[in-house]
Every structure is written in structure tokens, then in C-alpha cells.
């Protein structure tokens, strides 16, 4: 009796600790990201990890937590970037209005693609999202008066950002990093909020057993569509960050190779873990950086490493780490 209640109490306190960890995962993630420019060999790399981390985090909501393997995330990443650039360059909007409208437009695009693709299941879903994202690519290629076609979108530069009356020189790489960091922090908070909500439990239920979730009375189709839109909006925010960072939008951002890269990053880091996307983005970009120092054919190594991960380490770097260190395991 006492032994049992002791164990029950112990279990409870462990879960309690994990709960607290769960509440603080946003703060912990932000702390790591604040230190990132000093942890990585270059600040340029840190900015890219930040941007792709946000994009992959949005994708993780769809693939990791809901179990929907989409090959079309580039559409929303690219849409966010293009709309930001067009809003600033063509319509002279201030940067915050451009970012807001980019996220709204991308979420609408995600709703349209989501309505069509969430009607399908399993492997069909992967193929249909890939095809519809390619459609977006060809539309951007054809609408060259708007998007610059093959040359990409140019002619918008944000060199100065005013934040609460504060003028920030956006050309300084470190300033740039910390301004973009604010976006990343917002995205982290938003993602954590979604996962902690009852809706977060529903999408994980859909991943574990779609039929049972349906039998419990949850509207599976609507939940899938909603998570598709939420995931698209977070990835679109990453696109906005990229546009502000580069001051150009390359057409390749919309190609399904970019979607594939996002899939690779989430798997390298660890799907279904909160901080995994940033680890995956860092792992991919560092690999690219290091290998391209001595050969231009870095893709062959990245592809081979990815194959090894699928075969032997399907939980990714961060996911495997969390599993081997039970204290660090956050509440999902």
C-alpha cells in the first residue's frame, strides 16, 4: 500500500517536473537561439538556422505531430517570401504590414491547397501536395511581371527597421539576427500554445489512430485542414524572415526540392519534438557548409546521410537524444 502510493506520488512528481519543463520549453528554446550566433562558426549560418528553423517548425506541426507527410511546404515558405517582397517593393508597405499580409495570403493559399489535399489520405497526400506546390511554382514562373520569373524577385531592400520608435540599422548582421529572433520567438510561443491546447491533443490522436479519433467524435477533416493552415502560416513567417534577410526571393524557394529539404531537416532533427526543427536545420546547413568547402557535390553526401537516418535513426538527432536522456524529455 505505502510502496504503491509512494510510487504513484513519485510518478506524479516526475510528470509534474515534465509539465513545468513543458511550460518553459519556449523560454529554453529562446535562450538557445539567443546564444546561437556565438555557438555557430558564423553569423550568416545562425541567421539561416533561425529562418529555416521556423519554416521546419511549422512543417513539424503537420508532419511530426499530425503525421501528414506533405511534400508541398515550399509553397507557403515561398508565398510568405514573395508576398513580403511584393508588398514592400511594389506597394511600398512598411515591413510589419508586409509581413502581416504575407502571413494572411499564405494562410489563404494553405486553405485552398488544404481543401483539395486533405481529401486524400496516406501516400496520395504526399503526391498531391507535391503536385499542387509545383503548380504554385509554375504560376510564379509565368507571372514574371509580378514575381520576376526565373530571375527571382528583386528591388526591395529593408535597411532600417523602426520598432516602438527605435530606429534599428537592419544592415548590421547582429541587429538583423535579433530582429528576426523576435519573429522566431513569436512562432515558438504560437506553436507551443497550439500543442498545449485541446486541439494539439486532437491532432496527435489523428496521427496515432485516425479512425478512433473519428469514432470519438472529432471532425478529422476539419482538424486536418486547420492544422494544414496553421502549419502553412508558421512556415510562411519563415518566408517573410528570408525575404527581409536576403532582400531577394529566388524562384527556387518554391520548387519541390525546397519542400524536400524541409522534410530532410525535420527528419535529421527529429520530427515530433519541439526543438528538433532547429537542430535539424542547423545539422543540414552545417553539413552543407562543411562539405561544400571541399567539394561542390555536397548533395550526394547529404542524400546518403539522410538515407542512413531513415534506415537507422528515424527519430533524428534531437529525438534520439531526448529518448536517451529521460530527464530532458519534454511534455509533447
Partner 1 sequence: MDLSLIIMQLLSGIALGAVLVITALGLTIVFGMLGVVNFAHGAMFMIGAYAGLYLASLTGSFWWGLLLAPILIGAFGMLIEFVLIRRLYGRSIDDPLLLTFGLSYVLVEGVRILFGSDGIPFPTPSQLIGVVDLGVGFFPRYRIFVIVMVAAVLVLLWLMLEKTRIGLIVRAGARDPVIMQVLGVDIGRVWLAIFGLGVALAALGGVLAGPMRSVNPEMGSLVLAEAFVVTVIGGLGSIPGAVVAGLLVGISISMVALVAPEMATIVMFALMAAVLLIRPQGLFNVRGRVA
State the residues that interact with partner 1 by CB under 8 A.
69, 116-117, 119-124, 126-128, 130-132, 134-135, 138-139, 141-142, 255-257, 260, 263-264, 267, 297, 299-300, 302-304, 306-307, 310-311, 314
Q: If you count them, how many residues does the chain have?
A: 332
Which of 142/197 has CB closer to partner 1? 142
163: left (phi over 0), alpha (psi -120 to 50) or beta: beta
Which of 49/75 has CB closer to partner 1? 75
Return the exposure string of 188-215: e unless at least 16 CB atoms fall within 10 Å of the residue's CB, then b: bebbbebbbeebbebbbbbeeebeebee
- Least distance (Å) from partner 1 to the CB of residue 303? 3
Residue 162 forms beta bridges with which residues?
167
Closest listed residue to residue 327, CA positions, set 19, 7, 18:
18
Place of cell 542547423: 282
Which of 41/303 has CB closer to partner 1? 303
H or E segment at 70?
A: none
**Distances 176 to 37, 165, 182, 252, 284 between C-alpha atoms, Å:** 11, 17, 10, 23, 22
- Least distance (Å) from partner 1 to the CB of residue 310? 5
Backbone phi, psi, residue 69, to 5°: -85, 95
Which of 120/197 has CB closer to partner 1? 120
- Least distance (Å) from partner 1 to the CB of residue 288? 12
- Least distance (Å) from partner 1 to the CB of residue 296? 9
- Least distance (Å) from partner 1 to the CB of residue 264? 7
- Least distance (Å) from partner 1 to the CB of residue 44? 24
Return the exposure string of 270-306: e unless at least 16 CB atoms fall within 10 Å of the residue's CB, then b: bbbbbbbbbbbbbbbbebbbebeeeeeebeeebeebb
* Rounded CA Rg of the chain: 20
Which of 23/323 has CB closer to partner 1? 323
Which of 77/190 has CB closer to partner 1? 77
Which of 166/311 has CB closer to partner 1? 311
Which of 70/191 has CB closer to partner 1? 70
Residue 303 forms beta bridges with which residues?
none
CB 37 within 8 A of CB 48: no
Place of cell 546521410: 305
- Least distance (Å) from partner 1 to the CB of residue 63? 9
- Least distance (Å) from partner 1 to the CB of residue 251? 13
DSSP of 149-198, one letter per residue?
Answer: GGG-B-S----EEEETTEEEETTSHHHHHHHHHHHHHHHHHHHHHHHHSH
- Least distance (Å) from partner 1 to the CB of residue 114? 12
CB 56 within 8 A of CB 265: yes
CB 103 within 8 A of CB 240: yes
Which of 39/307 has CB closer to partner 1? 307
Amino acid at each position: 500500500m505505502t510502496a504503491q502510493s509512494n510510487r504513484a506520488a513519485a510518478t506524479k512528481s516526475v510528470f509534474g517536473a515534465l509539465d513545468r519543463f513543458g511550460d518553459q520549453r519556449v523560454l529554453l528554446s529562446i535562450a538557445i537561439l539567443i546564444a546561437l550566433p556565438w555557438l555557430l562558426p558564423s553569423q550568416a549560418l545562425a541567421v539561416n538556422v533561425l529562418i529555416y528553423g521556423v519554416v521546419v517548425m511549422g512543417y513539424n506541426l503537420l508532419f511530426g505531430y499530425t503525421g501528414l507527410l506533405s511534400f508541398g511546404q515550399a509553397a507557403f515558405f515561398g508565398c510568405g517570401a514573395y508576398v513580403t517582397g511584393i508588398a514592400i517593393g511594389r506597394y511600398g508597405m512598411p515591413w510589419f504590414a508586409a509581413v502581416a499580409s504575407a502571413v494572411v495570403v499564405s494562410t489563404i493559399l494553405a486553405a485552398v491547397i488544404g481543401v483539395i489535399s486533405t481529401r486524400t489520405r496516406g501516400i496520395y497526400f504526399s503526391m498531391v501536395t507535391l503536385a499542387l506546390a509545383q503548380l504554385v511554382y509554375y504560376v510564379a514562373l509565368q507571372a514574371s511581371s509580378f514575381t520576376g520569373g526565373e530571375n527571382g524577385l528583386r528591388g526591395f531592400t529593408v535597411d532600417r527597421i523602426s520598432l516602438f520608435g527605435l530606429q534599428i540599422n537592419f544592415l548590421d548582421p547582429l541587429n538583423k539576427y535579433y530582429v528576426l529572433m523576435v519573429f522566431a520567438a513569436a512562432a515558438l510561443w504560437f506553436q507551443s500554445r497550439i500543442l498545449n491546447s485541446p486541439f494539439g491533443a486532437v491532432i496527435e490522436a489523428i496521427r496515432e489512430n485516425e479512425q478512433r479519433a473519428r469514432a470519438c467524435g472529432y471532425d478529422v477533416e476539419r482538424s486536418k485542414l486547420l492544422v494544414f493552415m496553421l502549419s502553412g502560416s508558421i512556415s510562411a513567417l519563415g518566408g517573410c524572415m528570408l525575404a527581409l534577410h536576403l532582400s531577394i526571393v529566388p524562384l527556387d524557394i518554391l520548387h519541390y526540392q525546397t519542400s524536400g529539404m524541409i522534410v530532410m531537416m525535420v527528419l535529421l532533427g527529429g520530427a515530433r519534438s519541439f526543438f528538433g526543427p532547429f537542430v535539424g536545420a542547423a545539422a543540414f546547413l552545417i553539413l552543407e557548409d562543411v562539405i561544400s568547402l571541399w567539394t561542390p557535390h555536397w548533395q550526394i553526401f547529404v542524400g546518403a546521410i539522410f538515407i542512413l537516418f531513415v534506415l537507422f535513426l528515424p527519430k533524428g538527432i534531437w529525438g534520439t537524444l531526448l529518448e536517451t536522456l529521460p530527464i530532458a524529455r519534454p511534455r509533447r
